[in-house]
Amino acid sequence: MNTGEGVIVCGIDGSAGGLRAVEWAFDEARRRSCRLRAVTVWSWDGPEYGRTIGSAEEARRLAVDIQDEILTKVVGERPEPELEKLVLEGRPSEQLCRAAHDADLLILGSHGHGAFHDALVGSTSLHVVRHAPCPVVLLPDPARAEHERRASRPRHRLPGPQGGVPTF
């Protein structure tokens, strides 16, 4: 298979949603015969209470390790699609948009933290959807999606008039 000129960018952060995004991106890049650009973004603002990362170099190394582990799990030793690995320092939303400057598609996994978290620290997904230079695919965290699916199902049925389900 000859890799075409197209590029699919995928964010890798080590989360379950991120893993799902990498799997989806890998399959899509193979289907389209284009290059897969894996992007992991890191930052380090100094020592934080409760953190074991003691330096910027440790933070960068952790990002490289996370990316390598996920790509080994998903891609393995397969030669296709062509794989480009980027580990960048900065704000994830901004670096992902920059990395997608020539991309056909940008794929992310959603953490699904919720509105309160997003209001405090911002949403990478929201920023990317608004500012990406290409179409964006946002895949939900598998556990959260399952939880929401189960929560939306009725738990039990109470008989109503004429044996139907009552409305409240």
The pLDDT of residue 158: 53
Percent of the chain topping pLDDT 90: 51
Single pTM value for the model: 0.77
Average pLDDT over residues 60-88: 93
pLDDT reading at 144 higher than 80: no
The pLDDT of residue 18: 87
* Residue 82: Cβ within 10 Å count: 16
Percent of the chain topping pLDDT 70: 74
The pLDDT of residue 3: 45
Q: Is 36 helix (H, G, I), strand (E, B) or coil?
A: strand
Average pLDDT over residues 138-161: 67
Distance CA 63, CA 79 (A): 23
How far out from the chain centre does Cα 107 lie? 7
Distance CA 139, CA 159 (A): 38
| Token couple for 114 | 């919720």
Q: What is the DSSP string of 90-146?
A: S-HHHHHHHHTTT-SEEEEE-----HHHHHHH--HHHHHHHH-SS-EEEEPPHHHHH
The pLDDT of residue 24: 95
pLDDT reading at 117 higher than 80: no
Distance CA 27, CA 17 (A): 16
